């Protein structure tokens, strides 16, 4: 016979709410390697490996800042904030980086277009999907 009390439930929820730093760090490192490798090109002027690196680092810093702000104002963490949120933000953020980088490289086919117009065209093509997923 197994007994189940509120103390047991609290212990289970507390164990699931603990941050697994190794799991989160390994997930971010794998995504960092994937983003850099898939955006690299043999032609150095067209390579966007640094864009992939910057995108993953931006997502990591955003998650850290958000969790730090929540901790600062006293919001308690649960399993969703520690186990789901970092990976959800990573997936959505890196997807948006891929979309923006691809659209920007497509607008670069015509070299006579000014940089501001290329940026505007890139945001016109991907703005709706980036806004809806974010």
Q: Indicate the number of domains in the chain.
A: 1
- CA dist., res. 67 & res. 61, Å (int): 10
Residue 105 lies inside a defined structural domain of this protein? yes
Residue 1 lies inside a defined structural domain of this protein? no
Residue 77 lies inside a defined structural domain of this protein? yes
Residue span of the structural domain in which 117 resides = 6-133
Sign of CA dihedral 129, 119, 112, 45: negative
Residue 10 lies inside a defined structural domain of this protein? yes
- pLDDT tens sequence for the chain (134 residues): 666 666 677 777 677 666 678 888 899 999 999 998 888 877 776 678 888 889 999 999 999 999 899 889 998 877 777 788 888 999 999 999 999 888 888 887 777 888 888 889 889 989 888 888 87
């Amino acid at each position: 016979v197994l007994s189940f009390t509120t103390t047991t439930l609290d212990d289970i929820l507390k164990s699931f709410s603990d941050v697994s730093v190794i799991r989160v760090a390994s997930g971010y490192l794998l995504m960092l390697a994937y983003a850099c490798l898939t955006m690299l090109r043999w032609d150095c002027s067209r390579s966007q490996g640094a864009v992939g690196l910057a995108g993953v680092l931006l997502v990591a810093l955003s998650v850290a800042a958000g969790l730090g702000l929540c901790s600062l104002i006293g919001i308690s963490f649960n399993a969703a904030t520690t186990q789901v949120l970092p990976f959800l933000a990573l997936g959505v953020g890196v997807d948006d980086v891929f979309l923006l980088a691809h659209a920007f490289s497509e607008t670069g086919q015509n070299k006579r277009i000014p940089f501001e117009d290329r940026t505007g065209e890139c945001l016109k093509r991907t703005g709706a999907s980036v806004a809806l997923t974010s």
